[in-house]
A and B are shown apart, each in its own frame.
Chain A
Amino acid sequence: MDNVVQFENVGLRYGTAAETLSDVSFTLFPGSFYFLTGASGAGKTSLLRLLYLAQRPSRGMVRLFGTDTVTLSRERLPGFRRRIGVVFQDFRLIQHLSAFDNIALPLRIAGVKEKDLRKPVEEMLEWVGLAPRADARPATLSGGEQQRVAIARAVIGRPEVLVADEPTGNVDPDMAVRLLRLFEALNRLGTTIVVATHDIHLMSRVERATMMRLDKGRLSDPTGALRYPPRPGDNVGWKAT
C-alpha cells in the first residue's frame, strides 16, 4: 500500500530554542484513522503544522502523497494544501464572512463555480446542524458552532488527508460523537484522518484507529497502549523509531 504521509527523522526548531520535534519518523497509510495525543506542549500542533504544510521542518524528510515537500517549490504547495483538510485548534474562521462563505472557501479557492458549490455547502451546513445559521458571522456563533463551521470547511473539499487539532474541544458530547461519525464516514470514503486530541473517550470510540503519542517532541507509544481500554493491534499502520 502506498503511503500518503511519510516522516523520516524530522526535527523542528523555532529560532535558537531547543527542538520542538526530534527524530520523528512515521508513515500514514491511505484510508487510515489516527489519533495523535500527548501532553500540552508535547509538539502535537507543531507536528500537525508540518502535516498541513504551514511549516517546513528544520531537518529530516517529509513526504506527502509520494512527494518530498521539504524541497517542494512554493508554487506547488497550494496544490498539495488543497488535498489536505485542516481543522485548526482556534478554528481560524474569517470573521467578516458568513458561515456559508467560510465553508465555501476551499471550493472557491479550488475554482468551483458558484452554481456548483451551493448544494454541497448547504448539505454540509445541514450535516453539522447549522443550516439555520448559514448567514451568521462567526462572532455571533457559539464556540461549538464555530468549531462545526471549521470542521465543515475542512471536509467540504473531500480532502485526501484530514488534519484536526482538538476538533471536539468546544462541542457537547453528543455533537462530538456526531462529528466523529462524520470523520469516520470520510475515512470510509478513503480519507486519511489525523486527529490530535486529549479526549481519551473519543479515542476509544473509533474501533480501527491507530494511536500516535508525542512526548516532549518525540514520538513514543509504538504499541498504542495509551488507548483506553487498549485493544490488540492498535499499532497497525504506522511505525515509530
Chain B
Amino acid sequence: MEGNLIAMWSLIFPNAHDRRLIPEGRLSGPMPWVVAIMIFLTVLAAAAGLAVRSAAQDINADLAGRVTVQIIEANPDLRAGQYAAAVNLLRDAPGIARVDPVPDAEVEELMAPWLGGDAGDADIPLPSLIDLDLAGRADATELERIRALLADAAPSARVDANANWLGPVFDLLSTLQWLALGLVLLLALATTAAVVLSARSALKGHQDTIEIVHLLGSTDKQVARLFQRRIALDALLGGLVGLALAVLVILLIAAQARQLGSGLVEAAMLGWTGWLLLALIPVAGMLLAFWTARLTIMRALGRAL
C-alpha cells in the first residue's frame, strides 16, 4: 500500500534530482501573485455566497411554519369578538405549536413609522394580529385548514404564511447566491487561463532543455512532471496569500456587521463548514493549476515529435 502511494507520488511529482532540470524560481514570475488575486476574489465571492445561503436557510427555517392571522374589521367591537374567538379556536386546534396574540400596543408601535405615534387614537382601524407557529410547514393545505377553522367564528380573518411575504427577499437571496457561484466559476476560468499562459511561457522558456531530455528518451509525462509541480506550488503559495488576505477582509466586515445588530446580518455569519470550504479554495486552486498545467504541457508536447 505504502509502496503504491510512493509510486503514485513519483508519477505525479519529480524527485529532487529531476526537479533540478528546471531551475527553481524561474517559473515563479507573476504567477503566484495572479493566483493570489484570483483566490482572494474567489474566497470573497464564495464567502458572500455562503453567507447569503446561510441567511436564506436561517430565515427559511424561522418562517417555514410561521403564519399571521389578521382580523381586518373596521368595527372595533366586532374585531375584538372575532379576535378572541379566533385565539380560542386556534389554541385548541391540532398542528399548531404556538399561538401568540399580538397586543394592540405592539401593532400600533409597528404602524407608528407610517401612521405617526398616535396611530391607535386615530380613526384609522388597525387589524388585530395573531402569530402562529405551526408544527409543520405552512403550506397551502395548512393555510386552507386554518381558514376553514376560522371561517365561521372570525369571517374577517385573513391567514397568510410569513414566508409568502418574503418571497421576493428569497428570490433576491437566491439570485445573489447564483451570482456568487457565477463569480467563483468565472474566477476559476480566469485562473485556468493564467495557468495556461504560465505553462506555455514556461515551456517556451525551457524549450532547449525539453528537447534535450526528449531526445535522451524522456516521456511527455516525465517532462510534464517537471513543470506541473512548480506551477502547483506557485498556485498553492499564491492561493494561501489570497486566502489570508480574504480572511482578514471577511473578519473585518463581520466585525462591522455585528455592530449593526441586525438579525439578517447575524444570520449571514459563516459556520465552521463555511470556513472549511473557504480554506479548501487554495487547495482547489492548486489542483486546478496542477491539472491545467499538465494538460497544457501534454498537449503542447504532443504537437512535437
Contact = CB atoms under 8 A, between A and B. Distances in A.
Contacts of A139: none
Nearest to A108: B17
Interface string A51-65: 011111000000000
Contact of A82 (B18, B212, B217, B220): B217
Chain B interface extent, by class: 20 to 34
Contacts of B218: 78, 109
Contacts of A56: 305
Interface string B204-229: 00001101111111111010000000
Contacts, number: 56
Contact of B212 (A55, A75, A94, A114): A94
Contact of A81 (B20, B21, B209, B216): B216
Contact of A101 (B17, B209, B214, B217): B17
A173 to B, nearest CB: 29
Interface residues of A, number: 26
A202 B219 CA distance: 36
Nearest to A86: B215
B20 A105 contact: no
Q: Which applies to chain B's interface (DSSP): helix, strand, loop or mixed?
A: helix
Given A55-B305, A109-B222, A81 B23 contact: no
A46 to B, nearest CB: 14
B3 interface: no
Given A109-B218, A110-B217, A77 B212 contact: no
Contacts of B212: 92, 94, 105
A31 interface: no
A104 B213 CA distance: 12
A43 to B, nearest CB: 18
A96 B23 contact: yes
Nearest to A49: B215
B17 A52 contact: no
Contacts of A77: 305
Interface in B177-227: 208-209, 211-220, 222
A109 B23 contact: no
A109 B305 contact: no
B94 interface: no
A132 interface: no
Contacts of A97: 20-21
B302 interface: yes
Interface string A74-118: 110111011000100000101011000100111011100010000
Contacts of B208: 92, 94
Contacts of B216: 81-82, 86, 105-106, 109, 153
B305 A101 contact: no
B209 A94 contact: yes
Contacts of A153: 216
A52 B216 CA distance: 9
A93 B217 CA distance: 15
A172 to B, nearest CB: 26
B213 A53 contact: no
Nearest to B302: A74
A75 B222 CA distance: 12
Interface of A: 52-56, 74-75, 77-79, 81-82, 86, 92, 94, 96-97, 101, 104-106, 108-110, 114, 153
18 contacts: A54-B215, A54-B305, A74-B302, A74-B305, A75-B219, A77-B305, A81-B215, A81-B216, A82-B216, A86-B216, A92-B211, A97-B21, A105-B216, A106-B216, A109-B213, A109-B216, A109-B218, A109-B222
